[in-house]
Amino acid sequence: MRSRLRLGIGVAVLLCSVACGAAAQSSGAPIVKDCANPQLPAELLDGPVPAVASALPVVTASAPGVKLRLAVANDESTRELGLMCVTRLRPRHGMIFVFEQNREWEFWMKNTLVPLDMLWVDDDGTITTVAARVPASTRETPDDAVARRRGRGRFVIELASGEAAVDKLAVGTRLLLPALRAESH
């Protein structure tokens, strides 16, 4: 595995490899690289990709004037892979990371190939933290130069960079989320 979940003093640190964004790659560039999660649903990716036999479930989260389609990462292995090595996402599509409890979570953005926005969301659907325009890294970026972002919540949503501002998703915005549970394997 390229990353792992580590628990620190009172803070769980998710060292996940995630990438998303509507960023400009040439239209002929692959939508996912060889290090991407093979279960990513084709509906999230901005370009032609083959459908996968056992894709992650996709749910809808709503806020005033916006509906987001989000692949569900609700177990440790899926959270570790996240959207790693994805080069483009469709607008208003991304991933929701589901945890067992509301607490502080830090993401380490190893192998994030495009910039993205991250939203930490409480149990009741309220956005508590927004990390906008988290910078991309390359597969060669040294670990100490890879972006880290932290917030408090039970869920973390990743979207294309700039999506939070366009959709007016800010601290205090309340999202309507389906019932989601973290799985333990």
CATH code assigned at 68: 2.60.120.1140
For residues 163 and 69, the answer to whether their CB atoms sit within 8 Å is no
Parent domain of 29: 5-166
Does residue 56 belong to any structural domain of this protein? yes
For residues 96 and 57, the answer to whether their CB atoms sit within 8 Å is no
Does residue 134 belong to any structural domain of this protein? yes
Q: Which residues of the chain have pLDDT under 50?
A: 1-27
Does residue 47 belong to any structural domain of this protein? yes
How many structural domains comprise the chain?
1
What is the distance between the alpha carbons of residues 86 and 173, in angstroms, rounded to a whole number? 27
Q: For 17-42, what is each residue's pLDDT tens digit?
A: 333 333 333 345 556 666 777 778 88
**CA–CA distances in Å: residue 16 to residues 1, 37, 84, 178:** 10, 12, 8, 23
Does residue 116 belong to any structural domain of this protein? yes
Reduced to 3 states, what is the DSSP secondary structure of residue 129? strand
For residues 157 and 124, the answer to whether their CB atoms sit within 8 Å is no
Does residue 15 belong to any structural domain of this protein? yes
Does residue 129 belong to any structural domain of this protein? yes
Residue written as token pair 């990353």? 3
Does residue 96 belong to any structural domain of this protein? yes
Q: What is the pLDDT of residue 51?
A: 63
Does residue 183 belong to any structural domain of this protein? no
Handedness of CA 146, 82, 155, 10 (dihedral sign): negative
Q: What is the pLDDT of residue 71?
A: 94
